[in-house]
Amino acid sequence: MNTFFIEFRDPLFGIIIFFVLIFVLAFFSYWWGRYKRKEDYRHLDKFLKQFRSLPSQDELKVLITRGELSEKSWLLLANSYTKNGNYEKSIEIYNELLLVGDKANHRETLFLLGQTYFKAGFLERAKQIFLEILKNNPRTPQALHSLLLVYESMRDYKSALEILEPLDELQKDIKCDSAYLKSLALLNNAALSAEVKSKKLVEIYKQTHQLSYLVFDYLFRVDPKLAWKNFDSSKSELLSDILWHVDKKDLDLDIITKNGYLRELYTARGDVKLATKSSVFEFDVLINLNSNVNATLNFEYICDSCKQIYPFAFTRCSNCHCIDTSKVEFSLAKDYRRDFSEENNSFQ
- pLDDT score recorded for residue 39: 73
- Which segments within 195-317 are labelled E, that is strand? 295-303, 309-310
CA distance 217 to 69: 52
Per-residue b/e over 2-15, b at no fewer than 16 CB within 10 Å?
Answer: eeeeeeeeeeeeee
Q: With CA atoms as reference, report the closest residue to 185 among 213, 208, 225, 157.
A: 157
- pLDDT score recorded for residue 73: 82
**Angle, CA of 306, 307 and 308, to the nearest 5°:** 90
CA distance 322 to 303: 8
- pLDDT score recorded for residue 44: 59
CA distance 264 to 284: 8
- pLDDT score recorded for residue 17: 78
- Which segments within the chain are labelled E, that is strand? 295-303, 309-310, 326-334
DSSP state of 323: B
Q: Is 348 helix (H, G, I), strand (E, B) or coil?
A: coil
Amino acid at site 194: A
**Do 239 and 214 contact (CB within 8 A), yes or no?**
no
Per-residue b/e over 168-186, b at no fewer than 16 CB within 10 Å?
Answer: eeeeeebebbbbbbbbbeb
Global pTM?
0.75
- pLDDT score recorded for residue 10: 64
Q: With CA atoms as reference, report the closest residue to 108 among 86, 138, 140.
A: 140
Residue 28, phi-psi category: left (phi > 0), alpha (psi -120 to 50), beta (remainder): alpha
**Do 63 and 97 contact (CB within 8 A), yes or no?**
no
CA distance 336 to 295: 8
Q: What is the pLDDT along the chain (348 residues), one digit of tens a residue?
A: 455 444 556 677 677 777 788 888 888 888 887 777 777 667 656 655 554 455 666 666 666 666 666 778 888 888 888 888 889 989 988 888 888 777 778 899 999 999 999 999 999 999 999 999 999 888 899 999 999 999 999 999 999 999 999 999 999 999 999 999 999 999 999 999 999 999 999 999 999 989 999 999 999 999 999 999 999 888 999 999 999 999 999 999 999 999 999 999 999 998 899 999 999 999 999 998 876 667 889 999 999 999 999 999 999 999 999 999 999 998 888 877 655 444 444 434
- pLDDT score recorded for residue 291: 61
